[in-house]
């Protein structure tokens, strides 16, 4: 499940998704 946690580029926004047990930071386009 490491793929869910990633650093976001400046063109993206950091969002937290509750996908199961761990809450990871995902990236969404601005």
Buried b (16+ CB within 10 A) or exposed e, 1-30: eeeeeeeeeeeeeeeeeeeeeeebebeeee
Return the pLDDT at 3. 54
Give residue 11's pLDDT. 72
Alpha-carbon distance of 30 to 23, in angstroms, equals 21
| pLDDT on residue 1 | 42
Predicted confidence at residue 5, as pLDDT, reads 56
Contact in structure between 5 and 27 (CB atoms under 8 Å): no
Taking the domains of the chain in order of start, what are their residue ranges? 1-30
Q: How far apart are CA 22 and CA 1, in angstroms?
A: 9
Q: Over the stretch 1-30, which tens digit does the pLDDT of each residue have?
A: 455 455 666 677 666 666 655 555 666 776
| pTM across the whole model | 0.26
């Amino acid at each position: 499940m490491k793929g869910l946690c990633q650093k976001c580029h400046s063109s993206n926004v950091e969002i937290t998704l509750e996908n199961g047990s761990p809450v990871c930071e995902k990236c969404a386009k601005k």
